[in-house]
Structure 1
Amino acid sequence: MEQHLEQIREQQKQSWNKFSGGWKKWDELVMDFLKPMGDEIIRSLNPQHNDLILDVASGTGEPALSIAEKLSGGKVIMTDLAHDMLVIAQENAAARGIKNIETVTSDVCDLPFHDNTFDAISCRFGFMFFPDMLLAAKEMVRVLKPGGRMATAVWNVPEKNFWVTATMGTISRNMELPVPPPGSPGMFRCAKDGFISDLFLQAGLKNISQVEVAGKLNCKTVDTYWGMQTEVAAPIVAALANASDVMKEKIKTETYAVVNEKFPDGNIIIDSSALVIYGEK
Protein backbone atom coordinates (compact mmCIF):
# COMPACT_ATOMS: atom_id res chain seq x y z
CA MET A 1 0.00 0.00 0.00
CA GLU A 2 1.25 3.51 -0.82
CA GLN A 3 2.73 5.54 2.02
CA HIS A 4 -0.01 8.18 2.16
CA LEU A 5 -2.64 5.42 2.31
CA GLU A 6 -0.75 3.75 5.15
CA GLN A 7 -0.79 7.08 7.00
CA ILE A 8 -4.57 7.31 6.56
CA ARG A 9 -4.92 3.76 7.88
CA GLU A 10 -2.85 4.53 10.98
CA GLN A 11 -4.81 7.72 11.63
CA GLN A 12 -8.05 5.77 11.40
CA LYS A 13 -6.82 3.04 13.71
CA GLN A 14 -5.97 5.66 16.34
CA SER A 15 -9.25 7.49 15.78
CA TRP A 16 -11.52 4.43 16.08
CA ASN A 17 -9.69 3.16 19.15
CA LYS A 18 -10.03 6.64 20.67
CA PHE A 19 -13.77 6.81 19.96
CA SER A 20 -14.52 3.28 21.16
CA GLY A 21 -15.70 4.60 24.54
CA GLY A 22 -18.25 6.85 22.85
CA TRP A 23 -19.48 3.99 20.69
CA LYS A 24 -19.93 1.84 23.79
CA LYS A 25 -21.91 4.61 25.50
CA TRP A 26 -24.23 5.17 22.54
CA ASP A 27 -24.28 1.57 21.28
CA GLU A 28 -27.98 0.90 21.86
CA LEU A 29 -29.13 4.05 20.03
CA VAL A 30 -26.68 3.65 17.14
CA MET A 31 -27.34 -0.09 16.65
CA ASP A 32 -31.10 0.54 16.58
CA PHE A 33 -30.45 3.24 13.96
CA LEU A 34 -28.31 0.96 11.77
CA LYS A 35 -30.42 -2.20 12.18
CA PRO A 36 -32.41 -1.89 8.89
CA MET A 37 -29.15 -1.84 6.90
CA GLY A 38 -27.83 -4.85 8.78
CA ASP A 39 -31.13 -6.66 8.25
CA GLU A 40 -30.93 -6.07 4.49
CA ILE A 41 -27.34 -7.35 4.41
CA ILE A 42 -28.47 -10.50 6.24
CA ARG A 43 -31.47 -10.93 3.95
CA SER A 44 -29.32 -10.67 0.83
CA LEU A 45 -26.60 -13.00 2.15
CA ASN A 46 -29.18 -15.56 3.32
CA PRO A 47 -26.81 -17.24 5.84
CA GLN A 48 -26.95 -21.04 5.91
CA HIS A 49 -26.60 -23.02 9.15
CA ASN A 50 -23.04 -24.27 8.60
CA ASP A 51 -21.62 -21.18 6.87
CA LEU A 52 -18.30 -19.65 7.80
CA ILE A 53 -18.88 -15.91 7.46
CA LEU A 54 -16.49 -12.96 7.60
CA ASP A 55 -17.68 -9.60 8.91
CA VAL A 56 -15.40 -6.70 7.96
CA ALA A 57 -15.22 -3.41 9.89
CA SER A 58 -17.25 -5.05 12.65
CA GLY A 59 -17.02 -2.21 15.15
CA THR A 60 -19.10 -3.10 18.20
CA GLY A 61 -20.39 -6.29 16.59
CA GLU A 62 -23.28 -5.76 14.22
CA PRO A 63 -24.46 -7.25 11.95
CA ALA A 64 -21.99 -10.03 12.81
CA LEU A 65 -23.70 -11.02 16.07
CA SER A 66 -27.14 -11.17 14.47
CA ILE A 67 -25.70 -13.35 11.70
CA ALA A 68 -24.04 -15.65 14.26
CA GLU A 69 -27.41 -16.18 15.96
CA LYS A 70 -28.76 -17.61 12.70
CA LEU A 71 -26.00 -20.24 12.36
CA SER A 72 -26.54 -23.56 14.13
CA GLY A 73 -23.24 -25.12 13.05
CA GLY A 74 -21.44 -22.19 11.48
CA LYS A 75 -19.29 -19.34 12.73
CA VAL A 76 -18.67 -15.63 12.18
CA ILE A 77 -15.21 -14.12 12.24
CA MET A 78 -15.31 -10.40 13.04
CA THR A 79 -12.48 -8.17 11.86
CA ASP A 80 -11.71 -4.53 12.48
CA LEU A 81 -8.70 -2.24 12.31
CA ALA A 82 -9.45 -1.03 15.86
CA HIS A 83 -8.82 -3.61 18.58
CA ASP A 84 -10.72 -1.58 21.19
CA MET A 85 -13.91 -1.74 19.10
CA LEU A 86 -13.64 -5.53 18.91
CA VAL A 87 -13.31 -5.71 22.70
CA ILE A 88 -16.77 -4.11 22.91
CA ALA A 89 -18.03 -6.59 20.28
CA GLN A 90 -16.79 -9.47 22.46
CA GLU A 91 -18.58 -7.97 25.47
CA ASN A 92 -21.79 -7.64 23.46
CA ALA A 93 -21.48 -11.26 22.28
CA ALA A 94 -20.98 -12.49 25.86
CA ALA A 95 -23.99 -10.48 27.06
CA ARG A 96 -26.16 -12.20 24.43
CA GLY A 97 -24.67 -15.65 25.01
CA ILE A 98 -23.25 -15.84 21.49
CA LYS A 99 -20.29 -18.21 21.34
CA ASN A 100 -19.86 -18.98 17.63
CA ILE A 101 -17.79 -15.87 16.94
CA GLU A 102 -14.13 -15.00 16.78
CA THR A 103 -12.48 -11.57 16.61
CA VAL A 104 -9.37 -10.76 14.58
CA THR A 105 -7.75 -7.31 14.54
CA SER A 106 -6.67 -6.79 10.93
CA ASP A 107 -6.50 -4.44 7.98
CA VAL A 108 -9.04 -5.23 5.27
CA CYS A 109 -6.35 -4.69 2.64
CA ASP A 110 -4.25 -7.50 4.15
CA LEU A 111 -6.65 -10.11 5.51
CA PRO A 112 -4.91 -12.97 7.39
CA PHE A 113 -6.96 -15.72 5.75
CA HIS A 114 -6.38 -18.25 2.96
CA ASP A 115 -7.95 -17.90 -0.47
CA ASN A 116 -11.50 -19.25 -0.84
CA THR A 117 -12.16 -19.49 2.92
CA PHE A 118 -15.56 -17.90 3.54
CA ASP A 119 -19.09 -18.70 2.37
CA ALA A 120 -20.19 -15.07 2.75
CA ILE A 121 -18.83 -11.64 3.71
CA SER A 122 -20.69 -8.74 5.31
CA CYS A 123 -19.45 -5.17 5.69
CA ARG A 124 -21.72 -2.47 7.09
CA PHE A 125 -20.42 1.10 6.60
CA GLY A 126 -16.79 0.16 6.16
CA PHE A 127 -15.99 0.88 2.51
CA MET A 128 -16.16 4.68 2.82
CA PHE A 129 -13.27 4.56 5.30
CA PHE A 130 -10.97 2.13 3.46
CA PRO A 131 -7.92 4.02 2.13
CA ASP A 132 -7.85 1.86 -1.03
CA MET A 133 -11.39 0.62 -1.69
CA LEU A 134 -10.57 -1.46 -4.76
CA LEU A 135 -7.70 -3.22 -3.00
CA ALA A 136 -10.05 -3.89 -0.07
CA ALA A 137 -12.74 -5.30 -2.37
CA LYS A 138 -10.23 -7.54 -4.18
CA GLU A 139 -8.87 -8.81 -0.88
CA MET A 140 -12.38 -9.64 0.35
CA VAL A 141 -13.14 -11.43 -2.92
CA ARG A 142 -9.85 -13.36 -2.59
CA VAL A 143 -10.92 -14.93 0.72
CA LEU A 144 -14.47 -15.61 -0.54
CA LYS A 145 -15.26 -19.09 -1.85
CA PRO A 146 -16.35 -19.51 -5.48
CA GLY A 147 -20.11 -18.95 -5.46
CA GLY A 148 -19.78 -17.04 -2.18
CA ARG A 149 -21.94 -14.01 -1.37
CA MET A 150 -20.84 -10.52 -0.35
CA ALA A 151 -22.89 -7.52 0.79
CA THR A 152 -22.07 -4.06 2.03
CA ALA A 153 -23.92 -0.93 3.16
CA VAL A 154 -22.81 2.63 2.38
CA TRP A 155 -24.50 5.98 3.02
CA ASN A 156 -26.64 7.51 0.30
CA VAL A 157 -26.37 11.17 -0.79
CA PRO A 158 -26.17 14.01 1.80
CA GLU A 159 -29.63 15.29 0.80
CA LYS A 160 -31.15 12.12 2.24
CA ASN A 161 -29.11 12.12 5.47
CA PHE A 162 -30.09 15.15 7.54
CA TRP A 163 -28.80 13.35 10.64
CA VAL A 164 -25.26 14.11 9.37
CA THR A 165 -25.78 17.35 7.47
CA ALA A 166 -27.58 19.15 10.32
CA THR A 167 -24.34 19.23 12.29
CA MET A 168 -21.69 19.07 9.56
CA GLY A 169 -23.48 21.76 7.54
CA THR A 170 -23.48 24.06 10.55
CA ILE A 171 -19.79 23.40 11.16
CA SER A 172 -18.97 24.09 7.50
CA ARG A 173 -20.85 27.40 7.59
CA ASN A 174 -18.88 28.55 10.62
CA MET A 175 -15.42 27.09 10.11
CA GLU A 176 -13.02 26.88 7.20
CA LEU A 177 -12.36 23.15 7.17
CA PRO A 178 -9.40 21.83 5.17
CA VAL A 179 -10.54 20.41 1.84
CA PRO A 180 -9.59 16.72 1.78
CA PRO A 181 -7.89 15.37 -1.36
CA PRO A 182 -10.27 13.77 -3.90
CA GLY A 183 -11.12 10.20 -2.95
CA SER A 184 -10.28 10.66 0.72
CA PRO A 185 -12.26 8.61 3.26
CA GLY A 186 -15.56 10.27 4.18
CA MET A 187 -19.23 9.67 4.94
CA PHE A 188 -20.54 10.17 1.40
CA ARG A 189 -17.57 8.87 -0.55
CA CYS A 190 -19.56 5.89 -1.87
CA ALA A 191 -22.92 7.62 -2.30
CA LYS A 192 -22.88 7.96 -6.08
CA ASP A 193 -25.38 5.60 -7.68
CA GLY A 194 -23.58 2.53 -9.00
CA PHE A 195 -20.22 3.41 -7.41
CA ILE A 196 -19.91 0.29 -5.24
CA SER A 197 -21.52 -1.87 -7.93
CA ASP A 198 -18.73 -0.85 -10.31
CA LEU A 199 -16.16 -1.53 -7.61
CA PHE A 200 -17.62 -5.01 -7.03
CA LEU A 201 -17.48 -5.66 -10.77
CA GLN A 202 -13.82 -4.60 -10.95
CA ALA A 203 -13.04 -6.86 -7.98
CA GLY A 204 -14.48 -9.89 -9.80
CA LEU A 205 -18.03 -10.20 -8.48
CA LYS A 206 -21.13 -10.91 -10.59
CA ASN A 207 -24.95 -10.92 -10.17
CA ILE A 208 -24.61 -7.52 -8.52
CA SER A 209 -27.66 -5.72 -7.15
CA GLN A 210 -28.30 -2.50 -5.23
CA VAL A 211 -31.23 -1.48 -3.01
CA GLU A 212 -31.97 1.66 -1.03
CA VAL A 213 -32.68 1.17 2.67
CA ALA A 214 -34.29 3.76 4.94
CA GLY A 215 -33.49 4.15 8.62
CA LYS A 216 -34.55 6.35 11.52
CA LEU A 217 -32.30 7.88 14.17
CA ASN A 218 -34.66 7.89 17.13
CA CYS A 219 -33.00 10.49 19.38
CA LYS A 220 -36.25 11.76 20.92
CA THR A 221 -34.50 14.92 22.16
CA VAL A 222 -32.09 17.36 20.54
CA ASP A 223 -29.79 16.96 23.57
CA THR A 224 -29.47 13.25 22.80
CA TYR A 225 -28.81 14.01 19.13
CA TRP A 226 -26.03 16.48 19.96
CA GLY A 227 -24.51 14.21 22.59
CA MET A 228 -24.34 11.23 20.26
CA GLN A 229 -22.98 13.23 17.33
CA THR A 230 -20.21 14.86 19.36
CA GLU A 231 -19.02 11.59 20.91
CA VAL A 232 -19.39 9.11 18.03
CA ALA A 233 -19.02 10.97 14.71
CA ALA A 234 -15.27 11.29 14.09
CA PRO A 235 -15.44 14.17 11.53
CA ILE A 236 -17.59 16.23 13.91
CA VAL A 237 -15.38 15.55 16.92
CA ALA A 238 -12.27 16.41 14.89
CA ALA A 239 -13.74 19.69 13.64
CA LEU A 240 -14.96 20.81 17.07
CA ALA A 241 -11.55 19.99 18.58
CA ASN A 242 -10.14 22.85 16.49
CA ALA A 243 -12.86 25.33 17.46
CA SER A 244 -12.74 27.88 20.27
CA ASP A 245 -15.18 27.56 23.14
CA VAL A 246 -17.16 30.48 21.73
CA MET A 247 -17.28 28.86 18.29
CA LYS A 248 -18.31 25.48 19.75
CA GLU A 249 -21.21 27.14 21.56
CA LYS A 250 -22.24 28.99 18.38
CA ILE A 251 -22.22 25.75 16.38
CA LYS A 252 -24.18 23.96 19.09
CA THR A 253 -26.79 26.73 19.26
CA GLU A 254 -27.21 26.85 15.47
CA THR A 255 -27.40 23.04 15.18
CA TYR A 256 -30.11 22.97 17.85
CA ALA A 257 -32.01 25.64 15.90
CA VAL A 258 -31.75 23.72 12.59
CA VAL A 259 -32.92 20.46 14.19
CA ASN A 260 -35.72 22.11 16.20
CA GLU A 261 -36.95 23.91 13.07
CA LYS A 262 -37.31 20.55 11.30
CA PHE A 263 -38.95 18.90 14.32
CA PRO A 264 -41.05 21.63 15.97
CA ASP A 265 -42.87 19.10 18.16
CA GLY A 266 -39.54 18.31 19.86
CA ASN A 267 -39.66 14.60 18.96
CA ILE A 268 -36.37 14.09 17.14
CA ILE A 269 -36.65 11.07 14.82
CA ILE A 270 -34.41 11.69 11.81
CA ASP A 271 -34.70 9.82 8.51
CA SER A 272 -31.64 8.36 6.84
CA SER A 273 -30.88 6.59 3.58
CA ALA A 274 -28.27 3.96 2.74
CA LEU A 275 -27.47 1.70 -0.19
CA VAL A 276 -26.93 -2.05 0.24
CA ILE A 277 -24.96 -3.66 -2.56
CA TYR A 278 -24.73 -7.42 -3.09
CA GLY A 279 -22.57 -9.56 -5.34
CA GLU A 280 -21.41 -13.16 -5.87
CA LYS A 281 -18.04 -14.66 -6.70
Structure 2
Amino acid sequence: MFDYDSELARYHERLLEALDIRPGDRVLDIGCGTGLTTRDAARAASPGSALGIDVSGPMLARARRQAETEGLRNVDFVQGDAQAHPFPAEYFSLGVSRFGTMFFSDPVVAFANIGRSLRPGARFVQLVWQAADQQEWHTAIRAALAGEHASSASATAADDPFTLADPDVVAEALTSADFAAVDVVDVREPVRYGPDADHARAAVLQLRMAREWLADLDAGSAERALDRLSATLDAHDTGDGVWFDSRAWLVSAHRR
Protein backbone atom coordinates (compact mmCIF):
# COMPACT_ATOMS: atom_id res chain seq x y z
CA MET A 1 0.00 0.00 0.00
CA PHE A 2 1.41 3.38 -1.01
CA ASP A 3 2.38 5.54 1.97
CA TYR A 4 0.51 8.78 1.29
CA ASP A 5 1.16 9.99 4.84
CA SER A 6 4.91 10.00 4.24
CA GLU A 7 4.51 11.52 0.78
CA LEU A 8 2.31 14.37 2.03
CA ALA A 9 3.96 15.06 5.39
CA ARG A 10 4.73 18.71 4.59
CA TYR A 11 1.18 19.33 3.38
CA HIS A 12 -0.20 17.59 6.44
CA GLU A 13 1.53 20.12 8.68
CA ARG A 14 0.19 23.02 6.62
CA LEU A 15 -3.33 21.61 6.75
CA LEU A 16 -3.33 21.14 10.52
CA GLU A 17 -2.19 24.74 10.95
CA ALA A 18 -5.04 25.97 8.76
CA LEU A 19 -7.67 23.84 10.52
CA ASP A 20 -7.10 25.36 13.97
CA ILE A 21 -9.07 22.54 15.60
CA ARG A 22 -10.57 23.45 18.97
CA PRO A 23 -11.45 21.20 21.93
CA GLY A 24 -15.02 20.02 21.52
CA ASP A 25 -15.02 20.18 17.71
CA ARG A 26 -16.72 17.42 15.75
CA VAL A 27 -14.56 16.89 12.69
CA LEU A 28 -15.50 15.17 9.43
CA ASP A 29 -12.54 13.95 7.34
CA ILE A 30 -13.37 13.33 3.67
CA GLY A 31 -11.26 10.74 1.83
CA CYS A 32 -9.41 9.93 5.02
CA GLY A 33 -7.29 7.08 3.64
CA THR A 34 -5.37 5.44 6.47
CA GLY A 35 -6.69 8.05 8.87
CA LEU A 36 -3.72 10.18 9.95
CA THR A 37 -5.63 13.43 9.56
CA THR A 38 -8.64 11.92 11.33
CA ARG A 39 -6.57 10.71 14.28
CA ASP A 40 -4.72 14.01 14.63
CA ALA A 41 -8.05 15.82 14.47
CA ALA A 42 -9.48 13.56 17.17
CA ARG A 43 -6.57 14.32 19.48
CA ALA A 44 -6.89 18.07 18.93
CA ALA A 45 -10.69 18.03 19.27
CA SER A 46 -10.90 16.03 22.51
CA PRO A 47 -13.35 15.87 24.24
CA GLY A 48 -14.91 16.26 20.80
CA SER A 49 -14.57 13.64 18.06
CA ALA A 50 -13.53 12.90 14.49
CA LEU A 51 -15.08 10.73 11.78
CA GLY A 52 -13.16 9.64 8.69
CA ILE A 53 -14.82 8.36 5.51
CA ASP A 54 -13.17 6.64 2.56
CA VAL A 55 -14.08 4.18 -0.19
CA SER A 56 -11.05 1.93 0.48
CA GLY A 57 -11.62 -0.97 2.83
CA PRO A 58 -7.91 -1.85 3.21
CA MET A 59 -6.99 1.74 4.06
CA LEU A 60 -9.76 1.97 6.62
CA ALA A 61 -8.68 -1.31 8.17
CA ARG A 62 -5.24 0.16 8.73
CA ALA A 63 -6.78 3.38 10.07
CA ARG A 64 -8.82 1.46 12.64
CA ARG A 65 -5.84 -0.64 13.73
CA GLN A 66 -3.69 2.45 14.20
CA ALA A 67 -6.40 4.27 16.16
CA GLU A 68 -6.66 1.28 18.47
CA THR A 69 -2.88 1.12 18.88
CA GLU A 70 -2.84 4.82 19.76
CA GLY A 71 -5.65 4.34 22.29
CA LEU A 72 -7.99 6.82 20.62
CA ARG A 73 -11.61 6.46 21.73
CA ASN A 74 -13.08 9.57 20.10
CA VAL A 75 -12.41 8.59 16.49
CA ASP A 76 -14.41 6.44 14.09
CA PHE A 77 -14.22 5.42 10.44
CA VAL A 78 -16.86 4.53 7.88
CA GLN A 79 -16.53 3.07 4.40
CA GLY A 80 -18.57 4.92 1.83
CA ASP A 81 -18.80 7.58 -0.86
CA ALA A 82 -19.00 11.03 0.71
CA GLN A 83 -20.95 12.22 -2.30
CA ALA A 84 -23.97 10.17 -1.23
CA HIS A 85 -23.33 8.95 2.33
CA PRO A 86 -26.20 9.76 4.75
CA PHE A 87 -24.28 11.87 7.27
CA PRO A 88 -26.24 13.23 10.26
CA ALA A 89 -27.57 16.70 9.46
CA GLU A 90 -25.81 19.75 10.92
CA TYR A 91 -23.69 17.57 13.21
CA PHE A 92 -20.07 18.48 12.43
CA SER A 93 -18.37 21.75 13.33
CA LEU A 94 -15.49 21.32 10.87
CA GLY A 95 -14.97 19.51 7.58
CA VAL A 96 -11.55 18.64 6.19
CA SER A 97 -10.06 16.81 3.24
CA ARG A 98 -6.39 16.18 2.42
CA PHE A 99 -6.45 15.57 -1.34
CA GLY A 100 -9.64 13.52 -1.11
CA THR A 101 -12.19 15.60 -3.02
CA MET A 102 -10.82 15.53 -6.57
CA PHE A 103 -12.44 12.24 -7.54
CA PHE A 104 -16.14 13.02 -7.10
CA SER A 105 -18.23 12.39 -10.20
CA ASP A 106 -20.24 15.54 -9.36
CA PRO A 107 -18.42 17.96 -7.03
CA VAL A 108 -21.48 20.17 -6.51
CA VAL A 109 -23.59 17.22 -5.36
CA ALA A 110 -20.74 16.00 -3.15
CA PHE A 111 -20.07 19.38 -1.57
CA ALA A 112 -23.80 19.89 -0.98
CA ASN A 113 -24.04 16.52 0.79
CA ILE A 114 -21.00 17.35 2.93
CA GLY A 115 -22.42 20.80 3.61
CA ARG A 116 -25.67 19.40 4.96
CA SER A 117 -23.66 17.53 7.59
CA LEU A 118 -21.98 20.73 8.79
CA ARG A 119 -23.45 23.19 11.24
CA PRO A 120 -24.37 26.60 9.80
CA GLY A 121 -21.22 28.69 9.65
CA ALA A 122 -18.90 25.68 9.97
CA ARG A 123 -15.72 25.67 7.90
CA PHE A 124 -14.78 23.17 5.20
CA VAL A 125 -11.03 23.14 4.51
CA GLN A 126 -9.47 21.07 1.76
CA LEU A 127 -6.23 20.58 -0.11
CA VAL A 128 -6.42 19.88 -3.85
CA TRP A 129 -3.70 19.61 -6.46
CA GLN A 130 -2.97 22.42 -8.85
CA ALA A 131 -2.58 21.60 -12.57
CA ALA A 132 -0.56 18.57 -13.66
CA ASP A 133 2.20 20.70 -15.19
CA GLN A 134 2.81 22.21 -11.74
CA GLN A 135 3.55 18.79 -10.24
CA GLU A 136 7.14 17.60 -10.69
CA TRP A 137 6.19 14.24 -9.17
CA HIS A 138 3.70 13.80 -12.02
CA THR A 139 5.67 15.20 -14.96
CA ALA A 140 8.97 13.53 -14.07
CA ILE A 141 7.52 10.10 -13.39
CA ARG A 142 5.27 10.31 -16.45
CA ALA A 143 8.24 11.26 -18.66
CA ALA A 144 10.20 8.30 -17.31
CA LEU A 145 7.50 5.65 -17.57
CA ALA A 146 5.46 6.82 -20.55
CA GLY A 147 8.48 7.94 -22.56
CA GLU A 148 7.56 9.10 -26.03
CA HIS A 149 3.89 8.56 -25.16
CA ALA A 150 4.04 10.96 -22.20
CA SER A 151 2.09 13.73 -23.92
CA SER A 152 -0.87 11.40 -24.50
CA ALA A 153 -0.74 9.61 -21.15
CA SER A 154 -3.54 10.91 -18.96
CA ALA A 155 -5.75 9.76 -16.14
CA THR A 156 -9.29 8.60 -16.67
CA ALA A 157 -12.10 10.72 -15.23
CA ALA A 158 -12.50 8.26 -12.35
CA ASP A 159 -8.94 8.69 -11.06
CA ASP A 160 -7.87 12.13 -12.32
CA PRO A 161 -6.28 13.99 -9.37
CA PHE A 162 -6.43 17.35 -11.16
CA THR A 163 -10.18 17.87 -11.61
CA LEU A 164 -10.18 20.74 -9.09
CA ALA A 165 -6.96 22.34 -10.31
CA ASP A 166 -8.77 25.47 -11.51
CA PRO A 167 -9.55 27.62 -8.43
CA ASP A 168 -12.54 29.17 -10.23
CA VAL A 169 -14.01 25.69 -10.70
CA VAL A 170 -13.57 24.91 -7.01
CA ALA A 171 -15.09 28.21 -5.93
CA GLU A 172 -18.05 27.83 -8.28
CA ALA A 173 -18.74 24.27 -7.09
CA LEU A 174 -18.62 25.30 -3.43
CA THR A 175 -20.81 28.36 -4.00
CA SER A 176 -23.34 26.26 -5.91
CA ALA A 177 -23.36 23.83 -2.97
CA ASP A 178 -24.37 26.63 -0.57
CA PHE A 179 -20.93 27.52 0.79
CA ALA A 180 -19.78 31.11 1.17
CA ALA A 181 -16.57 33.08 1.80
CA VAL A 182 -14.49 30.79 -0.42
CA ASP A 183 -10.76 31.43 0.00
CA VAL A 184 -8.08 29.79 -2.16
CA VAL A 185 -4.41 29.97 -1.13
CA ASP A 186 -1.41 28.86 -3.19
CA VAL A 187 0.68 26.29 -1.25
CA ARG A 188 3.98 24.89 -2.47
CA GLU A 189 5.66 22.00 -0.69
CA PRO A 190 7.86 19.08 -1.77
CA VAL A 191 6.51 15.53 -1.62
CA ARG A 192 8.58 12.55 -0.47
CA TYR A 193 8.57 9.20 -2.23
CA GLY A 194 10.87 7.29 0.08
CA PRO A 195 14.08 7.39 2.11
CA ASP A 196 16.16 6.47 -0.95
CA ALA A 197 15.81 5.68 -4.66
CA ASP A 198 15.21 1.95 -4.17
CA HIS A 199 12.36 2.50 -1.75
CA ALA A 200 10.98 5.26 -3.97
CA ARG A 201 10.95 2.95 -7.00
CA ALA A 202 8.98 0.33 -5.07
CA ALA A 203 6.57 3.04 -3.93
CA VAL A 204 6.03 4.50 -7.40
CA LEU A 205 5.28 1.08 -8.86
CA GLN A 206 2.37 0.74 -6.41
CA LEU A 207 0.67 3.75 -7.96
CA ARG A 208 -2.15 3.14 -10.42
CA MET A 209 -0.86 5.77 -12.84
CA ALA A 210 2.53 4.04 -12.99
CA ARG A 211 1.00 0.62 -13.56
CA GLU A 212 -1.23 1.97 -16.32
CA TRP A 213 1.63 3.72 -18.13
CA LEU A 214 3.76 0.56 -18.01
CA ALA A 215 0.86 -1.61 -19.18
CA ASP A 216 0.85 0.22 -22.51
CA LEU A 217 4.47 -0.76 -23.23
CA ASP A 218 5.98 -3.91 -24.71
CA ALA A 219 8.60 -5.80 -22.70
CA GLY A 220 11.60 -3.98 -24.12
CA SER A 221 10.03 -0.55 -23.78
CA ALA A 222 8.95 -1.36 -20.21
CA GLU A 223 12.49 -2.33 -19.26
CA ARG A 224 13.84 0.94 -20.66
CA ALA A 225 11.09 2.85 -18.86
CA LEU A 226 12.07 1.27 -15.54
CA ASP A 227 15.70 2.22 -16.18
CA ARG A 228 14.60 5.82 -16.82
CA LEU A 229 12.54 5.74 -13.63
CA SER A 230 15.54 4.59 -11.59
CA ALA A 231 17.67 7.38 -13.08
CA THR A 232 14.97 9.95 -12.31
CA LEU A 233 14.66 8.80 -8.72
CA ASP A 234 18.45 8.76 -8.28
CA ALA A 235 18.53 12.36 -9.49
CA HIS A 236 15.97 13.36 -6.86
CA ASP A 237 17.61 11.48 -3.99
CA THR A 238 18.81 14.21 -1.64
CA GLY A 239 20.40 11.89 0.89
CA ASP A 240 17.44 12.72 3.12
CA GLY A 241 14.80 11.12 0.94
CA VAL A 242 13.57 11.30 -2.66
CA TRP A 243 11.71 14.58 -3.08
CA PHE A 244 9.72 16.16 -5.91
CA ASP A 245 8.32 19.67 -6.15
CA SER A 246 4.55 20.17 -6.09
CA ARG A 247 1.86 22.82 -5.75
CA ALA A 248 -1.61 22.70 -4.24
CA TRP A 249 -4.55 24.93 -3.38
CA LEU A 250 -5.63 25.26 0.24
CA VAL A 251 -9.35 25.94 -0.11
CA SER A 252 -11.56 27.04 2.74
CA ALA A 253 -15.24 27.95 2.80
CA HIS A 254 -18.07 28.38 5.29
CA ARG A 255 -21.40 26.62 5.18
CA ARG A 256 -24.18 29.19 4.87
TM-score range relative to shorter protein: 0.7 to 0.9
Once the two structures are superposed, what CA deviation does each residue of 1:230-277 show, in whole Å capped at 9, x if it has no partner? 11x222223324433322211111223344456698963222221110
Of 37, 44, 48, which residue of structure 2 is paired with 1:70? 44
Q: Superposed, which structure 2 residues align to 1:158-173 within 5 Å?
A: 158-173=132-147
1:221 aligns with 2:196: yes
> Do the aligned partners of 1:166 and 1:259 also contact (CA within 8 Å) in 2?
no
> Do the aligned partners of 2:153 and 2:213 also contact (CA within 8 Å) in 1?
no
- Alpha-carbon shift at residue 76 of structure 1 (Å): 0.6
Distance in 2 between residues matched to 1:194 and 1:229, nearest whole Å = 31
Is there any run of 5+ residues in structure 1 with no aligned partner, and where? 1-21
- Alpha-carbon shift at residue 184 of structure 1 (Å): 5.2
Equivalent AA in structure 2 for residue 130 of structure 1: F
Distance in 2 between residues matched to 1:265 and 1:131, nearest whole Å = 40
Distance in 1 between residues matched to 2:57 and 2:63, nearest whole Å = 10
Q: 1:267 to 1:48 in 2, by over 3 A?
A: closer
Distance in 2 between residues matched to 1:265 and 1:55, nearest whole Å = 34
Q: Superposed, which structure 2 residues align to 1:1-281 within 5 Å?
A: 22-23=1-2, 27=3, 30-175=4-149, 185-218=159-192, 219-231=194-206, 233-261=207-235, 268-281=242-255
> Do the aligned partners of 1:33 and 1:215 also contact (CA within 8 Å) in 2?
no
Distance in 1 between residues matched to 2:233 and 2:46, nearest whole Å = 44
Q: Secondary structure at the match of 2:44?
A: coil
> Do the aligned partners of 1:67 and 1:76 also contact (CA within 8 Å) in 2?
yes
Aligned length: 253
RMSD of aligned alpha carbons: 2.5
Q: TM-score, normalised by structure 2?
A: 0.87
Q: 1:265 to 1:75 in 2, by over 3 A?
A: closer
Equivalent AA in structure 2 for residue 99 of structure 1: R
Equivalent AA in structure 2 for residue 246 of structure 1: G
Q: 1:104 to 1:220 in 2, by over 3 A?
A: closer
Q: Secondary structure at the match of 2:102?
A: helix
Distance in 1 between residues matched to 2:15 and 2:238, nearest whole Å = 34
Distance in 1 between residues matched to 2:240 and 2:219, nearest whole Å = 26
> Do the aligned partners of 1:52 and 1:120 also contact (CA within 8 Å) in 2?
yes
More helix by share: 1
Q: TM-score, normalised by structure 1?
A: 0.80
Is there any run of 5+ residues in structure 2 with no aligned partner, and where? none
Which sits farther off after the overlay, 30-39 or 137-146? 30-39
Q: Identity across aligned pairs (percent)?
A: 22
> Do the aligned partners of 2:136 and 2:245 also contact (CA within 8 Å) in 1?
yes
